[in-house]
Amino acid sequence: MSTPPDLPPEAIVTELTMAVGQLLRRLRSETNPDGLSWSQSTALARLERGGPTTTADLARAEAVKPQSMGATLAELEREGLVMRHPHPTDGRQVLFALTGAGVEARRKRSAAKQKWLLAALGGLDADEQRLLVSAIPLIRRLSEAD
């Protein structure tokens, strides 16, 4: 193990920050250029997982400002991958949902984009994969902490 288990908290912060930043940039650099952008594809993934969702809720989930998510959704709408629906009871809100094309784009393009990460995962043995998978909910809990 190259990182000792009882690292002081400050070191954990630095190591985790750098590792996450590095993985994200690597993921982005491996992205198929004619596919979906990073924020487009995570927004689509969230719509697929959570069903129709408002701009504000998506923004909260992704830790960006509503205006930023609005721009991402506007682009996805222009490409025909999401559609807006009126909220049944609140006239201010707009629900966004995947279109058929959105579902297909999500499957096809994201398969291409994720080829590299799949291959990289193959470089971990079964125990390491299990360890990594069990760390995912912890990363999510960190992201969602107050």
Residue ranges in contact with a copy of itself by CB under 8 A: 1-7, 9-10, 12-29, 38, 42, 45-46, 61-64, 110-111, 114, 116-124, 128-145
In whole angstroms, give the CA distance from residue 97 to residue 99. Answer: 6
According to DSSP, the residues that pair with 18 across neighbouring strands are none
In whole angstroms, give the CA distance from residue 97 to residue 88: 14
Among DNA, a copy of itself, none, what binds residue 67 when CB lies within 5 to 8 Å by partner kind? Answer: DNA
Residue from the set 11, 65, 117, 143 that interacts with DNA by CB under 7 A:
65
- Residues comprising the chain, all counted: 146
- Per-residue binding string, DNA, 16-55, x by CB under 7 A, is ---------x--xx---x---xxxx-------------xx
Q: Which residues contact 130 (CB under 8 A, 6 or more apart)?
A: none
Instruction: Kindly tell me the burial class for residue 93, based on how many C-beta atoms sit within 10 Å of its own C-beta (0-12, 13-18, 19 or more).
Output: middle
Q: Identify what 99 binds: DNA, a copy of itself, none; CB under 5 to 8 Å per kind.
A: none
Residues interacting with DNA, by CB under 7 A?
25, 28-29, 33, 37-40, 54-57, 62-68, 70-75, 84, 87, 89-95
